[in-house]
């Protein structure tokens, strides 16, 4: 028997699973998918859960019902790559593998700033996004929310909360001189104007020194605040950072051309945990997933896999509430309703697939 275990049914893991199931698999292949949640989470939409604008049923999908897959819904607490075993929290169950895919995503990077772990909300897991949604939703009229980090997720969180709660005082702390540093200046200006028009206070050149239960201290000034949301950086999952494999500067696992770990070629890594020339994204994880499935199909059929082609990303789309947005499509910056509709279209397609 060939035991293939996929850790994480997120953007990368689900793509691998669906692509494999599209094919006739050898009889002796046994697939197990492990996730803490009994559903596929649409992480790119977690900002809506944090803002309370969408029902959580709309941000998750059932895993495929197929008798070729065994599902395990548990919290993984160790990947024992030496003995090829996976163990779980509060459970004596142990899963052994012959082939392993690691697609556990990323988690917040607190950059060692005091108080962040204890006192900030997050959008990095479903449970955390839900917790953030409750904290924001329970705020009294004119409550104060600070969002630290003005990358894509910080912008989407801030604008969605603004649309959800016009009464709140919202402050966005941005480390750079302009929001969305990875985007074109036309988009940066458009988003900056949206925040001015929608009364979101943006502080540039932020350098958060510490966070307390009721405030954020930045560049020597402490702002009293009811809820602080951290969107100021991510790092690969801690179980991945613990593995004895070669990592890049961001602690992602370095892979060969076939997404295999050179030290253990029966281990594959997808998405936010895999070293890549591209920034982490759901789109990248999905494309890598398709390619890993092709490699795995060959390996499981005892054939030599073809070298995966170069990844070609289609651009990024972001939202500013429900009827405005921005994006880079085919190297062109676009703003307004069109990219917002396109983003909803991408979500609809993802759900259908």
Ligand X SMILES: Cc1cc2nc3c(=O)[nH]c(=O)nc-3n(C[C@H](O)[C@H](O)[C@H](O)COP(=O)(O)OP(=O)(O)OC[C@H]3O[C@@H](n4cnc5c(N)ncnc54)[C@H](O)[C@@H]3O)c2cc1C
Q: Which residues contact ligand X (rule: CB under 6 A)?
A: 8-13, 34-37, 41, 43-44, 46-47, 75-76, 103-105, 123-124, 152-153, 156, 237, 270-272, 280-283, 285, 316-317
Q: Which is nearer to ligand X, 272 or 294 (CB)?
A: 272
d(CA 72, CA 74): 6
Q: Which is nearer to ligand X, 174 or 215 (CB)?
A: 174
**Which conformational region is residue 52 in: left (phi greater than 0), alpha (psi within -120 to 50 degrees), or beta?**
left
Pull the structure tokens for residue 304: 């030599």
Task: Give residue for tokens 């897991």.
Answer: 125
Q: Which is nearer to ligand X, 168 or 270 (CB)?
A: 270
Q: Helix, strand or coil for residue 91?
A: coil
Close Cβ partners of 244 (under 8 Å, ≥ 6 residues apart):
81, 82, 263
Residue nearest to ligand X according to CB distances in the complex = 10
Q: Which is nearer to ligand X, 84 or 287 (CB)?
A: 287
Pull the structure tokens for residue 175: 């480390």
The distance of closest approach from Cβ of residue 219 to ligand X in the complex, given in angstroms and rounded to an integer, is 26
Q: Which residues pair with 333 in a beta bridge?
A: 328
Provide the 10 A C-beta neighbour count for residue 223: 17
- Please, where are the H alpha helices in 7-125? 11-21, 46-51, 116-119
d(CA 283, CA 317): 11
The distance of closest approach from Cβ of residue 193 to ligand X in the complex, given in angstroms and rounded to an integer, is 21
The distance of closest approach from Cβ of residue 166 to ligand X in the complex, given in angstroms and rounded to an integer, is 21
The distance of closest approach from Cβ of residue 141 to ligand X in the complex, given in angstroms and rounded to an integer, is 26
Q: Which is nearer to ligand X, 79 or 202 (CB)?
A: 79
The distance of closest approach from Cβ of residue 74 to ligand X in the complex, given in angstroms and rounded to an integer, is 7
Residue 253: DSSP 8-state: B
The distance of closest approach from Cβ of residue 292 to ligand X in the complex, given in angstroms and rounded to an integer, is 11
Q: Quick one: CA torsion of 130, 116, 156, 180, rounded to 10 degrees?
A: -160
Q: Which is nearer to ligand X, 89 or 142 (CB)?
A: 89
Q: Which is nearer to ligand X, 141 or 330 (CB)?
A: 330
Nearest to residue 43, comparing CAs of 60, 55, 57? 60
Nearest to residue 16, comparing CAs of 240, 270, 220, 206? 270
Q: Which is nearer to ligand X, 181 or 213 (CB)?
A: 181
Q: Which is nearer to ligand X, 107 or 226 (CB)?
A: 107
Q: Which is nearer to ligand X, 217 or 342 (CB)?
A: 342
d(CA 180, CA 65): 39
The distance of closest approach from Cβ of residue 67 to ligand X in the complex, given in angstroms and rounded to an integer, is 22
The distance of closest approach from Cβ of residue 278 to ligand X in the complex, given in angstroms and rounded to an integer, is 10
The distance of closest approach from Cβ of residue 316 to ligand X in the complex, given in angstroms and rounded to an integer, is 6
Nearest to residue 147, comparing CAs of 42, 222, 226, 221? 226
Close Cβ partners of 193 (under 8 Å, ≥ 6 residues apart):
none
- What are the backbone dihedrals phi and psi of residue 145, each rounded to the nearest 5 degrees, phi first? -125, 130
The distance of closest approach from Cβ of residue 339 to ligand X in the complex, given in angstroms and rounded to an integer, is 11
d(CA 172, CA 228): 10
């Amino acid at each position: 028997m060939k035991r293939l275990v996929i850790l994480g049914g997120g953007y990368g893991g689900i793509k691998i699973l669906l692509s494999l199931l599209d094919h006739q698999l050898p009889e002796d292949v046994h697939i197990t998918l492990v996730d803490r949640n009994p559903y596929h989470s649409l992480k790119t939409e977690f900002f809506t859960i944090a803002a309370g604008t969408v029902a959580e049923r709309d941000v998750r999908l059932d895993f495929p019902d197929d008798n070729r897959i065994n599902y395990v819904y548990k919290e993984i607490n160790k990947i024992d790559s030496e003995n090829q075993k996976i163990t779980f929290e509060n459970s004596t169950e142990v899963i052994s593998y012959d082939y392993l895919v690691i697609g556990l995503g990323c988690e917040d990077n607190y950059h060692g700033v005091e108080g962040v772990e204890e006192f900030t909300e997050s959008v990095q897991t479903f449970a955390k996004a839900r917790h953030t949604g409750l904290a924001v939703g329970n705020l009294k009229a004119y409550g104060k929310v600070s969002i630290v980090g003005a990358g894509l997720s910080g912008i989407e969180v801030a604008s969605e909360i603004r649309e959800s709660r016009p009464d709140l005082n919202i402050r966005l702390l941005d480390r750079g001189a302009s929001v969305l540093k990875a985007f074109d200046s036309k988009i940066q200006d458009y988003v900056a104007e949206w925040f001015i028009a929608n009364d979101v206070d943006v502080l540039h050149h932020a350098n958060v020194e510490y966070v307390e239960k009721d405030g954020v201290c930045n560049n020597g000034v402490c702002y009293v605040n009811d809820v602080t949301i951290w969107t100021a950086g991510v790092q690969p999952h801690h179980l991945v950072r613990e593995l004895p494999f070669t990592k890049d500067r961001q602690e992602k696992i370095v892979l060969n051309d076939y997404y295999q770990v050179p030290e253990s070629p029966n281990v594959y890594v997808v998405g936010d945990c895999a070293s890549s020339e591209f920034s982490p994204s759901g789109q990248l994880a999905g494309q890598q997933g398709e390619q890993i499935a092709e490699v795995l199909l060959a390996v499981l059929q005892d054939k030599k896999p073809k070298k995966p082609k170069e990844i070609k990303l289609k651009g990024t789309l972001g939202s500013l509430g429900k009827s405005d947005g921005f994006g880079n499509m085919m190297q062109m910056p676009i703003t307004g309703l069109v990219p917002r509709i396109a983003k909803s279209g991408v979500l609809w397609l993802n759900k259908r697939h």
